[in-house]
Every structure is written in structure tokens, then in C-alpha cells.
Structure 1
Amino acid sequence: MQVPEHLETHRISRMFPLEFLYSLFYIAVVTDFDEKKKKVIQYDISKFKRGDLLEVPRTLFTHFGIYLGNNRVAHLIPDILPVLTTDEKAIEKMVNNNRLILGAIAKKASVRVDSVEDFAYGAEILLNHMDKVCSRSPFEGEEVARRAEKLMGSVVYSLLWYNCEHYVMYCRYGTSVSFQSYQFCKVVRKIVCSKTSCLISFLLCLFIMFYLETVSIFGILPTFMIPFTIWMAS
């Protein structure tokens, strides 16, 4: 069913601008990945131990999960289907991109268990790579798996503030952080808080002020305050 245009506009306008930008980025990448055929790869699960952190690099983002043993991976993934139906058999099927994208937009996700093959979707798997990045030592494997299993079920999803990386980092290291989100915010800040952006915003404010003929205190203040704020933040 198509969402009425005025309701969709109202919903998007309420989204935090930076997170909405990240949503567009994420959806574009996932859609691009779906156009490629799933590779047939046989994974050697004998090298995985319970509590291991599995990392699947994609083109521009990385997916994370916790290995539970017996070819089972717990991972947090956006999914709209649990909101629409209670059919367990349908929900248990692998999350396709339509379910994922709609879940990301609606901020609905679940921590679920899939096979290694369905989790990796034909991509290379990095094993405990975050151990080299995180300053904290990992918990014992059984403790990691226990924490992962305890969080099973529906969760509120956020591309920036609570995604699959936040989930695995909490389970393995006890700290809920996302290096991907941090890098994205860092790049956006560098673009927005630059001298070029300051100049462009100043010229744009001047144009709007004179075009609308609002040469008053209400027009002059934004003209100088917006560029000044960007300048001070750069």
C-alpha cells in the first residue's frame, strides 16, 4: 500500500537530518549490493568458536554478528516484517533487501539467528578483527554468546546510534560504539563545517534576504549567525 505523500513528507521532516542522510547512503549501498548475484561460498565453520565476532565487509559498509556455535550467528538487522505479521515461518526466512530497507526507514529491527551462509551472503568473513581495534579486552566466549542471546528479539533501530556494530561491540567488549557511524559523522562534519560551506551559506542567506526583501532584524540575524556558527565550528 502506497503511503500518502503528505504523511511521508511529515515523517521524513521529523527525522534527524544527519540520520536521514545516512539512511539514503545506506539504502543506496544495500540496493547496489542486491543487484549482484549471491556468491556460492563454502564457509569453514570449524574455525569459528562460540562468542567469536564475525565481520562481513561490503562495498561501503560492514555487517557484524556473534557466532553462537552449530552454524548459528546472532546479528542485529533491520526488518519490517515482524511489525506486519506474526507468522513465525515467514519471519524466520532470510531478511531480503525490501524487508531490510523498510525496517531501516521505520526504525524497526530484530536480533535474530541465521546460518553463517545467510549471514555472510557470499562475502568474506573476518574473524575477531575488532580485537585489534578496540582498546578493551573481549569477554570470554561463553559470556559474549550469553550477552548476545539475552538481547534476542525486537529492538528500536538507528543507523547512527544503534546498529549491528553497536550490538556486537556491547556483547564482546561491554561498550556500545560504532566506528562506522563515527567515521560517517566525521566526514559529514568536515564537509559541513568548512570555510567553503560558510561562504556558500552566507551568500545564500544574502540572496534569500534580498530576494524576499526581508532587510530587517529577522533577515539580517540569520544571514550573519548561520555562517558565523559554521565558521566557529570549522
Structure 2
Amino acid sequence: MFRVGTHIQVGRLGYTHHGIYVGRNQVVHYSGFHEFGGKGSVSITTLSEFCDGQQAQEYPRARLLKGSAFLAEEIVCRAKSRLGEDSYNVFFNNCEHFANWCTHGDSYSAQTAGTVENNVRSGNYLQLGGLTLFDFISHFKGLFK
């Protein structure tokens, strides 16, 4: 079982899904896209539903985040404060962005950040030359809001 306020993740086909464990076997997460392309919202669900048959684990990249981790109570309050929000965007406001914002105030997704940002955060300064489409898009993300 996870500690209250833990950022957890579970593997899905081609990506990882993220949420905040808020206690009592419940997880707050951005549900993302549902069947037939409908947008989901920030919602609360059981750990079992969140995992969908997979094994959840604690988020391993917390060391890459800017800022200090909030206390568990604050993390849970931050997660619950966004319940019902329906501004999901796979590139700029996905479940990983949400969970990292809840824990550290850093709206960051390693899955969608470009190569340059990921290398800077991990201290891998030798690999900064390779740009990706995400690097280009994130440079102009203000145009997509």
C-alpha cells in the first residue's frame, strides 16, 4: 500500500498513467481521453480501477522536479482542488503534469517533454543537441492554449 500523498504510476499500452494516492484505497487522477475520443476530467477512483489489472508503483522521477515536495496533506488538498477540471491536453496538461503539480508545483511530464528539457533535468548535458518535435512544440505551446 502507498503512503497518502504519493505520486503513483501504472503502465498502459505505450505510456504510463499517473495519479495521487489520497488514502482509503482511492486515487485522484486526470482520466484523459475516454472511449470514442471524449475528454475525461480530474476524478477520484479506487486504486483497483486506476490500476486496471496492472501493478502500480511510486513515481521514480521525483528527483527531476523543480521545487521541494509538499507535505502529504497539501498534496492531497492540491489534488482534490482540481476535481472536475476538464482541461486535459496530452502535450501540456496530462495526468503526469497533474500529479507532478500536486506533489511539487512543477507541471512537468517526462513523457511529453522534449529531449533537451529531459536531458537538462537529468543533468545529461552531453546529449542536448537532439531536438524532437516536442521541443519545437513546447517552444510555441502558448499558441495552443
TM-score per shorter chain, which class? 0.7 to 0.9
Equivalence map 1:44-193=2 (5 Å) = 45=1, 48-78=2-32, 98=35, 101-103=36-38, 108-183=39-114, 186-188=131-133
Which has the larger helix fraction? 1
Partners of 2:66 and 2:104 within 8 A in 1: no
Q: What's the CA shift string for 1:83-103, capped at 9, x where partnerless?
A: xxxxxxxxxxxxxx52xx512
One-letter code of the match for 2:41?
Answer: S
> Which consecutive residues of structure 1, in runs of 5 or more, have no partner in the other structure?
1-44, 80-96, 191-234
Partners of 2:8 and 2:57 within 8 A in 1: yes
One-letter code of the match for 2:6?
Answer: D
Q: What's the CA shift string for 1:90-141, capped at 9, x where partnerless?
A: xxxxxxx52xx512xxxx3211111111001111212142323324321111
RMSD: 2.2
Q: CA deviation at 1:175?
A: 1.2
Using a 3 Å threshold, how does the CA distance of structure 1 residues 140 and 58 change in structure 2: closer, same or farther? same
> Which consecutive residues of structure 2, in runs of 5 or more, have no partner in the other structure?
117-130, 136-145
Using a 3 Å threshold, how does the CA distance of structure 1 residues 154 and 135 change in structure 2: closer, same or farther? closer
One-letter code of the match for 1:172?
Answer: T
Distance 1:189 1:157 in 2: 17
Which has the larger strand fraction? 2
Paired residue secondary structure (1:169): helix
Q: CA deviation at 1:159?
A: 0.8
Using a 3 Å threshold, how does the CA distance of structure 1 residues 189 and 114 change in structure 2: closer, same or farther? closer
Distance 1:189 1:68 in 2: 31
Distance 1:58 1:160 in 2: 17
One-letter code of the match for 1:188?
Answer: L
Partners of 2:65 and 2:106 within 8 A in 1: no
Q: CA deviation at 1:183?
A: 4.0
One-letter code of the match for 2:57?
Answer: L
Normalised by the size of structure 1, how large is the TM-score? 0.47
Distance 2:31 2:134 in 1: 27
Equivalence map 1:208-219=2 (5 Å) = none
One-letter code of the match for 1:109?
Answer: G
Distance 2:56 2:68 in 1: 21
Q: How many residues align?
A: 121
Partners of 1:76 and 1:111 within 8 A in 2: yes
